Structure 1
Amino acid sequence: MPRPATDKRERLTAAAASLAHTRGLERTTLGDIAAEAGVAPGSVYYYFKTKDDVGLAVVEALLERYRSRFEDWNGAEDPRDRLSAYIDSYVADEPAIRASGCPVGTLATEARKLSEDLGDAAASVLRITIDWAAEQFEELGFAPEAARARALHLVTGIQGAATLANALGEAEPLEREAAHLKRWVANTSA
């Protein structure tokens, strides 16, 4: 039975996100995306006219993914547990991070090289993550400026560890930083 045409954009976006993460956005062609999604190459142009269109679709997919994760994590009663869930998600993704880097950090870095607008769009995933983490620290009693500083430290730590794990091809930097950040979060009080 043929797939509905309405899911074609979703399949193309999922293929683009996967390839952008494993190969890099710049090295991913529209033909690669079509092959990965199992669609005719010509139909890709209907959805994505430019590399920026592909990048923006990948950013939207990541925004959706992170918003969904925030919803799930917000189910925990204690903000410390929510922040720990964020850290744990990186440890759970360690094999993919070690092989290809963090899908968010890697995309944001590469997108900025392709265009300022695409770089800003990709950075929005990091911005909403920092904002979400700051909300958790505010709930723990920190003033907004202090909560934001802590959130920035948390996201910087996990992104840096992900970058180092990828660069070295080793799990240790991510595992050690995640353990350190979890202890730091557990002992956090305003």
Structure 2
Amino acid sequence: MDKTPLTDPALAQLFTQARTYNSWSDRPVDDATVRQLYALVSAGPTTANSHPGRFVFIRSAAARARLRPHLSAGNVEKTMAAPCCVIVAYDTRFHEFMPQLFPSRDFSATFAGKDAVIADTAMRSSTLAGAYLILAARALGLDAGPMSGFDKDTLEAEFFPDGRWKANFLCNIGYGTDDQLFPRNPRLAFEQACLDL
């Protein structure tokens, strides 16, 4: 594949002009787009190709009703208006899929019985997957509104009662409107956030 830098408009769509959206048009996110989103997310790198990220695409009225009680007050209105809210989660037994995901190497000794390693890998790589979800949504012409305002315990009891999957964060996706778009906040300068050694 011939790799060339993305154009300025593409970089703007993904990063420099992209925003966290709080209001949404009623245009739905269709089945094909949901599947395309996951296909792009699954192409991203994770620890040893472990892909512990799991995604619950909440689009129906019934699923929204189940989600609503677990949201922080400030997140209810915008989430109920979004055409899709994704619970970005992780599988605490992701390592069981390692023979499928990394068939050339036996990872059983890496994870078997090592709860701290499993938890650390699951959280790190599912967070990466959530970031890929945001960028994939933007790349497909959607907008994203990631958030962490929810009751993790009650949400997991509702959606993951067997305890295997755990919630990381939520992300509204759809076609945003400018109604509740806040001014862009500042970012740290290179010198404040980076060491170039």
Normalising by structure 1, we get a TM-score of 0.29
**Structure with greater proportional strand content:** 2
* Larger fraction in helix: 1
Higher relative contact order (CA 8 A, sep 6+): 2
